[in-house]
Amino acid sequence: MDKSSFKTSLLRRDMNARAALSTVLLCAGVLAAAWVAALAALMWQDSLFRDAVAWREADFLARHAGQRLTLLQQRIERRKDELLRVLEQGEDETRALLATRLADMADTAGIPVHIALFEHDGETVIDNGAPALTSNQRAWVLSTLRDGQGSSSIVMHGKSGELLSLLTLHRASDKKPLGALAYRLALNDLLPIDQSARLVWNGQIRNDRGDRSGPPAASVPVPLPAQFQPLGLRVELSGRSQELDTGILLPAAGLLAVLLLLVAAAWPLARRLQTRVGADLQRLVDQASALNSEGGTRLSGGASAQTSELARVINLLLDVLDDRKQQPSHDYDARYRQLFEEARVVMLLVDPIDSRLVDANPAAVAFYGYSRELMVGMHMSEINVMSDLEIAEEVRAADRERRKHFNFRHRLANGEVRPVQVHSGSVEVGGRSLLFSVVHDIGPRWREPDLIQQDKIRRALQSLADA
């Protein structure tokens, strides 16, 4: 073999090696991108579902705490007249009766409550066996008595906070303050022990149960009576969607194993590719680098069928990108609205902040029996007949069983209660983030063909929302 032939042989081998390496890298890149996209989709779906569950749990805990405080204040207000008689007359019989009733209120709505009746000078008249006030708590009581106005505050007690409220008692004749009724309770008692939640007031975390890092999965304000509203109590639920469980890790590991096997199988085949494959690929790269951002330029086919097909696919992608640049964003809202109005399945849009209906499609109006004007603005509690505890248990059960739907009972306008399956997800409509719910009737009138049709429409809507 002469030098010329030897050099030509070396060049051919070098170009074959380059072509084989380029092909392997291209295959590995495409498969890796597919693996990453699949993993990201799984993580996003899991995070969306867990965040929806966390918001529902936080909303339930906030309403539960608000109901407890409201019940406590109502029971205290009903004792106001008896308290005034004790302060004005000091009758022993009334004092003994009141002591018995205050003792009965030591546990209100499942919360230990410490109650004490004070005269205007700060002397204790009667209590329900409550422990003595701390120095900080007594200083706040005396200051509030001097002001002559009822108030509420949160006073630190150890590492947690105590809600301290003072109800001022005035003489009916001249409005002269005679004394006040002070009651206090530990903030930790407002939340169930088995919940990983914390209370925040006026932006300060005071009774955190354990160290947590990162933003909360949900933060919901507690609906409070007027006297407690300045405290700004909120319930925060720690984020749990940041941890991946085996339901995500196992598919990811399987995809990675398939990727490695495909790369290993492609290597010996890529070694046998012709020189023209590498040349065509290099030419495509050079042409792609010359494309400008304004579009219009397209790639030409190569000598082989593979590179010609690759050029065709790239040109199709460029066409799609040009079309999306020219299509106004409001067209997507119009397509979504058309599907929402024309679908024959029950669809609801709910504000995640206050749980009120934002919109209902014609199928929902026909199913529930209300007019559309009446349904818009309704609270979900007017439709869902399940108690807060039942809803919370169903949410936890769906999270535990990794179901993507909830089983509820909804009341129609005629009073009939139907068992339903609710599929919910977050969508953005008109720049506003809402909860999109598809409701399936699974009662006696349920039919298999209807469910198939409803499932097809729900999948189409979800695909549009993802796009």
Paired tokens of 48: 């969306």
Please check whether residues 316 and 208 belong to one and the same domain: no
Q: Is 265 helix (H, G, I), strand (E, B) or coil?
A: helix
* pLDDT tens by residue, 191-245: 776 556 777 776 454 444 444 455 666 777 888 777 777 777 777 776 554 444 4
Please check whether residues 201 and 247 belong to one and the same domain: yes
Give the closest residue to 339 by CA, choosing from 249, 437, 458. 458
Please check whether residues 353 and 248 belong to one and the same domain: no
DSSP code of 378?
-
- Give the C-alpha separation, 206 to 160, whole Å: 6
- Give the C-alpha separation, 286 to 276, whole Å: 15
Give the closest residue to 397 by CA, choosing from 148, 57, 1, 149. 57
Please tell me the predicted confidence (pLDDT) of residue 206: 47
278 found inside a domain: no
Please check whether residues 387 and 439 belong to one and the same domain: yes
Please check whether residues 366 and 312 belong to one and the same domain: no
Please tell me the predicted confidence (pLDDT) of residue 440: 87
User: Bridge-partner residues for 418, per DSSP?
Assistant: 410
Please check whether residues 70 and 146 belong to one and the same domain: yes
From 273, 305, 338, give the residue that closes a domain. Answer: 273
315 found inside a domain: yes
Q: Please give the share of the chain, as a percent, with pLDDT higher than 90.
A: 10
From 273, 298, 315, give the residue that closes a domain. Answer: 273
From 273, 297, 312, give the residue that closes a domain. Answer: 273
* CA terminus-to-terminus distance, the chain: 61
* pLDDT tens by residue, 245-255: 445 555 666 66
What is the phi/psi pair of residue 131, to 5°? -65, 160
pLDDT average, residue stretch 58-77: 79
Say how many domains are in the chain. 3
384 found inside a domain: yes
* pLDDT tens by residue, 280-320: 545 554 554 555 444 555 556 555 555 565 565 556 556 65
Q: Is 164 helix (H, G, I), strand (E, B) or coil?
A: strand
Paired tokens of 307: 């590179």
- Give the C-alpha separation, 271 to 113, whole Å: 81
| C-alpha torsion angle, residues 285, 286, 292, 293 (rounded to 10) | 20
Paired tokens of 436: 């999109």
48 found inside a domain: yes
Neighbours of 40 (CB within 10 A): 10
Please check whether residues 70 and 196 belong to one and the same domain: yes
Q: What is the DSSP string of 128-162?
A: SSPPPPPHHHHHHHHHHHHHTS-EEEEEEETTEEE
Q: What is the CA radius of gyration of the chain?
A: 34
Tokens 């009939």 sit on residue: 416
Please tell me the predicted confidence (pLDDT) of residue 109: 63
Please check whether residues 231 and 318 belong to one and the same domain: no
Specify the CATH number for the domain of residue 418: 3.30.450.20
Please check whether residues 293 and 376 belong to one and the same domain: no
Is the full-model pTM beyond 0.75? no
- Give the C-alpha separation, 344 to 363, whole Å: 5
Please check whether residues 441 and 322 belong to one and the same domain: no
Please check whether residues 78 and 211 belong to one and the same domain: yes
Neighbours of 132 (CB within 10 A): 11
Please check whether residues 320 and 335 belong to one and the same domain: no
Tokens 């708590």 sit on residue: 137
For residue 42, the enclosing domain spans: 1-273
